[in-house]
Structure 1
Amino acid sequence: MNGLSLKRFDWTMFGTILMLVALSVAFVYSAQFKSDLEVGSKWWKQLLFAGMGLCAYGVVVWYDYQQFARLSWWIYGGALVLLLMVFLFPKVNGAHRWIPLPGFTLQPSELGKIAVVVALAAFLAAPDRDMDEWRTFWGCVAIAGLPFLLIAAEPDLSTSLTFAPITLAMLLYKGVQRKLLLIGVAVVLVVATAACFWIKFETSPQIEAMAEAERPAVVLPRMPFLEDYQKGRIKVFLTKDYDKGDAGWNKLQSQIAVGSGGLHGKGYLKGTQNILGFLPRTVAPTDFIFCVIAEETGFMGGAFFILLYTVLLGRCMRVSFRSRDEFGRLMALGIGVMVFCHVFVNIAMTIGILPITGLPLPLLSYGGSFMVSTMIALGLVQSVYQRRRIR
């Protein structure tokens, strides 16, 4: 039944969302701060995006989430159409990721993640679905694989890779062909290891210009499957001193920013790595917003933000446990894993334990499509909680 019941509302989840959104606006402001007379405009745009996201959140919560199960294939098909449409527009920064609309740009890959979660949940929750049949496994692979390929072709490999843990978690919960899952995970790990080895030792113009005697002992031909900037990020991660002035600059400066915050930080609007421009202003409000936070609030502030995300993820898992049906349980689980992937990968890349990627931080990083899509996803979780089984 559609409607909104304040008595059945998860106020802890909603309060955590509001706190993260408010802090997002504050630190996006800080990420663009130069002086009292010169501040970028992204902070008020982020406030507008947050308002749009909260409206979308309220609409999704009002609707009975079971209606999304009945519309799951329409939602999935619409997402695929949007993912195909991006290739009709000119590249922006070397990628087909956005659809220009009056006043803003739409990034369909963010909506694609939600569509995959809803479609997988509806597919696996069907009462006549046999989890022991190989068709069930390959059906899930196809549902996640098609948008994966489209997003990877944009290219946006970091976003497309989030489909893997989401699909894996949902399949593990349902017990779908665990032997095939183990084989699939093993194959992925072997391929990823081989790709990293190839990228680390592939040839380059600098190596080719060397004399034969000066070249490294192991030189492999160039890998054709990834863009140069993607391979550069992996080389920076695998090779400590690789290209610190170009491809490795963001990683170096992000680690300096996080480390220089110390225990209590330098203070709000006093982060030198950010204000002096060592941390590039093009990425500080988006992918590297945690660096700004860690520099200004220190270890204690960073731990507080991780605590907020822990609460948010814990509420998602609680909703999954208390759902009245399998569709709601699977959907809450998939969205929780999606949020966790973004949080873990984003923070890990800023401190140097994962390669630099383009995954933003949920509810904190600047961006309209990401903010609204995250709100929609969390609205679906709240909708499940509204109509939970009372225990």
Structure 2
Amino acid sequence: GVFAFMLTSLIHYRWIRWGALPMYLGGIVFLILTKFIGTKVYGARSWLHIGPINFQPAQLAVVAGIMVLALFLTQFREMHPMLRLLLSGAIAGAPCLLILLQPDLGEVIIWIPVLLALWFVGGLPLRYLICIILIGIAFIPIAINFGLKPYQQQRITAFTHPDIDKQGSAWAINQSLIAIGSGGWSGKGFKAPNTQIELGFLPATAVHNDYIFSAIGEQWGFVGGVLLIGGFALLLMICLFVAFFAGDQLGLLLVVGITALIFTHIFQNMGMTIAMLPITGVPLPLISYSGSFVLMIMFGLGLVNSVWIHRKVPA
């Protein structure tokens, strides 16, 4: 991850003019392969094994998608707004459709704020964005009732009615709340013997990934949680600072896309552990135990750093 960050930082971000499309198409190919030879985890066939490498193509696809969208919105600024909207929507829609077939709803949801942020900063008329948001909100009940798998509907039910099935679909979210609440002000301590984690009440296979914030809240308490949130807030503010001083539209859109990606992961992961959002299985940036995800985030932060380093360098 550190190597990816350093390498991407040193190379001028305008390399995406020739590198973004191959990465995007590679992500599409990997997503297609995942449908047929991928490994199923928690009901979604979203992991791909290639020799010793194990990764989620959806994470590659979203970073590559941000690069292609930034390039498209920059190069076709004079295109009619509706056509620009439709074509950029198709760029995001292709990987989203393949991810839905896995099905991995959490990774699809990640695309929504990322795409909206790119559209807004990319200069699409606000009235178009408002219409899309309103249509999306109206479509939510239909999607929940007719588009989700039974286990996904159970997660929605566990979110809206956590007391109905405490021993079943709502078990994980209730245990997460207990873990965070029991941490108190300063937590129980790292590797304490009486935690929800050590006692096995939180899913052992997900505690270092989806429920890592629950573990931090229990072991390090309110103080640890606030420090972590503060660290993320500082990171996001630095990214926005870089976006403000970006040398061109391409750099601006790249940074905005990566910032939206990181923010959405943070909000979604923390939100589901404190019952603000349904469980979606989205990792926490730089904290969750996920090699391919950390690599993609560090690659994205490398792009942000490249925009800062090369902001005054002519093309």
Whether TM-score is above 0.5 comes out as yes
Which amino acid is the alignment partner of residue 225 of structure 2? G
CA distance in 1, matches of 2:79, 2:117: 14
- Of 130, 134, 148 in structure 2, the residue corresponding to residue 182 of structure 1 is 130
**Match of 2:50?**
101
Does 2:256 match 1:333? yes
Shift of 1:178: 2.4
Which amino acid is the alignment partner of residue 366 of structure 1? Y
**Match of 2:93?**
145
**Match of 2:190?**
268
Shift of 1:193: 3.9
- Of 206, 230, 233 in structure 2, the residue corresponding to residue 283 of structure 1 is 206
Shift of 1:374: 0.9
Identical columns (%): 37
CA distance in 2, matches of 1:195, 1:129: 33
**Match of 2:2?**
54
- Of 192, 216, 228 in structure 1, the residue corresponding to residue 150 of structure 2 is 228
SS of structure 2 residue aligned to 1:97: strand
Deviations 1:52-103 (A, max 9, x none): x111112211211101123222221121111111122054234321221222
Cα contact 2:179–2:214 (8 A) shared by 1: yes
CA distance in 1, matches of 2:252, 2:79: 16
Cα contact 1:97–1:108 (8 A) shared by 2: yes
Deviations 1:271-321 (A, max 9, x none): 511111111211110100011100011111100000000011111111111
**Match of 1:92?**
40
Shift of 1:251: 0.2
Structure of larger gyration radius: 1
**Match of 2:72?**
123
Cα contact 2:62–2:111 (8 A) shared by 1: yes
The change in CA–CA distance for 1:116 and 1:322 in structure 2 (over 3 A counts) is: same
- Of 285, 308, 315 in structure 2, the residue corresponding to residue 362 of structure 1 is 285
Deviations 1:190-212 (A, max 9, x none): 1114545x4xxxxxxxxxxxxxx
How many aligned positions are there?
Answer: 311
Q: What pairs with 1:15-34 in structure 2 (closer than 5 Å)?
A: none
CA distance in 1, matches of 2:233, 2:89: 29
The change in CA–CA distance for 1:92 and 1:133 in structure 2 (over 3 A counts) is: closer
- Of 155, 169, 180 in structure 2, the residue corresponding to residue 247 of structure 1 is 169
Which segment drifts farther, 247-256 or 92-101?
Answer: 92-101
- Of 170, 175, 187 in structure 1, the residue corresponding to residue 118 of structure 2 is 170
Cα contact 1:131–1:175 (8 A) shared by 2: no
Cα contact 2:92–2:111 (8 A) shared by 1: yes
Cα contact 1:72–1:115 (8 A) shared by 2: yes
CA distance in 2, matches of 1:160, 1:194: 17
Deviations 1:228-266 (A, max 9, x none): 211110011112322111111100000000111111111
CA distance in 1, matches of 2:68, 2:53: 27
Cα contact 1:322–1:389 (8 A) shared by 2: no
Unaligned 5+ segments in structure 1 are: 1-52, 199-222
Does 2:251 match 1:303? no
CA distance in 2, matches of 1:294, 1:90: 33
The change in CA–CA distance for 1:73 and 1:195 in structure 2 (over 3 A counts) is: closer
Cα contact 1:137–1:177 (8 A) shared by 2: no
**Match of 1:10?**
none
Cα contact 2:162–2:170 (8 A) shared by 1: no
Shift of 1:158: 0.7
**Match of 1:351?**
274
CA distance in 1, matches of 2:228, 2:252: 26
CA distance in 2, matches of 1:90, 1:186: 35
Which amino acid is the alignment partner of residue 53 of structure 2? F
CA distance in 2, matches of 1:54, 1:91: 27
Does 2:37 match 1:114? no
Cα contact 1:285–1:365 (8 A) shared by 2: yes
Cα contact 1:132–1:177 (8 A) shared by 2: no
Cα contact 1:131–1:177 (8 A) shared by 2: no
Does 2:5 match 1:69? no
Unaligned 5+ segments in structure 2 are: none
SS of structure 1 residue aligned to 2:49: strand
**Match of 2:246?**
323
CA distance in 2, matches of 1:355, 1:101: 31
Cα contact 2:38–2:49 (8 A) shared by 1: no
Shift of 1:131: 5.6
